Structure 1
């Protein structure tokens, strides 16, 4: 019989979320950086890291801080992907799949992403009020990743539901809440794995120029990905390509509107769009945490971590560390250099970062070209999620005359 008890890391994350506003955790982060930058939760034997230098150390030191979860936590498919692996397994798989994410391959997608954005903008033509999440932030990335993978985009609602389920968290540590969450998660994951197993089998007999076909054919020294490796990786791509970029676009627009004059400044200086995207990743990181596992006793931030301890790195807090970033609590579209770690760091730096940047730049440029100004009407944060973003972002839009 399978247990429905949350893992130690999930318990620690739930406790942390209970202490913060879902879309404004930054005062809590600041307090933790000042009072307990490397904080230990005895009940779960989990450390939380809030400061930049310590966070960076954890992401770089792959020998001391492993990405691979304990065996009893490897049930779900995402636990079997390269983001949850150490070398040499990680090196092998990344060397194969990276062939499909070269700058040349990503550049080929730029015209299509621009075309999709134009189609989405046409659908809101003439409207004075829009929900940016439903109009742009959600459909653009999910259609792009569907076409990139070579799967029918008419399944995009299922893609969104599966993605939301996989990044969800229990409402609480209550046994009934956990059991319900586990049931929904297991079913969602089973449905998604069955979907990709069927797609992969079909493509083996009818290869195209899509990403799944490229991954089926990709080799490194004669080595190819097995079906057991391909299916979880497709799950990961769908999740990362959908959730991360959706939240990046929404978080960026929210931040531009929250900072007086920022949107108008970008209208006047669109060449700053790439910097604004990087600043959005720093300021409101879509993926706020990563998890590592201590392989040997070590010291971090003046504390002694024991072999077997869990570590949660709060990337979103590290990106606001006052010791690393001047005016860290300001959204600055001119910020350069911007050594944020919102896309991770080290060997696990986000493989899809160039695609996320391309989509975000394309989306904001289209909005700047079409609208003289945007006004924030209301917003609704995501809750019970391991990601950071908005379910709803309602805007009043003023077209250019």
Structure 2
């Protein structure tokens, strides 16, 4: 039953931009797949999570979900060519990381004297080891023996944040704000790494978000006016421009802009649903969900899916094509590809299928360029940028030339450079 729920969820993800129909319809769709096809769905999702969540983001909480994807793929198709390989690689990788974190913590704990920076690394390595196996006896002993050190490191960073914040909030020049904002964001990131639910971090980020948003207050006001007037495309263009402005100041996402974008996409999706433009409605509600996983947005998505259960996809071909073009132009090739794959089986008119299928070579040509850029960055030893390019490639075409092989090499190099 767990495998079935995982596959059902993946079918909904696969058809995300086309809208998921009722549970019964999805159940029939799942049942129409062969075990090999179900296994491939699970493997691809697991591989995407492995590359992004575990390798790129070091999100150790994602380990059980990734492992479940590979294990379920093997259960359905014991001869799957790569699920077993990646399950073994992941197990080895996780154990290697745990051993590395534990040894680093034990070595630091054994030192007679430590600097404050070493105390922080001690606390951080214990936290990372605990994220993988909190019940390991050595981790428990280390945690119990370093509680005071952890409190001290938290207080040090809370104090530093309180010292830095007034000057940041007083600065209104965008160029002069870049450096102090980067400094305080660095301290916030350090504190979050050892105390993810820290209240000082939460309050500080709220204040900083409001200050940065104030630098684009005119854009925000214009976007609000456009939303109220239902000029949604204008509002989106304004907010995307404001995002670019903020990105030049800080790497952190801005809460105020995100909140307004969420409101925009909810309003846009509701308007499109009323007009029975289901493709547009689904696209916009998915953008809202990408910003905020709310009950409101999920309920709206369900309403769209129910209303679209008997929809005429051929009548919406122009909206579908426009959605694909919009995603391609934004550089969101993964969602563009998924939109095509989701809607091709739904179109009954061959001419419409041909029009939609004609977008695939456009994406593959962009993918070819991205792949070549990734290889060039790899040769230039810009490994982070190379990985970002190759991740796009393998999400769309896991078997594209040597993309996954290069990605695996990049992951090894980046782990070696980080000491992992």
Identify, as 1 or 2, the structure richer in strand. Answer: 1
Q: Which has the higher contact order (CA 8 A, sep 6+)?
A: 1
TM-score by length of 1: 0.27
Identify, as 1 or 2, the structure richer in helix. Answer: 2
Structure with bigger gyration radius: 2
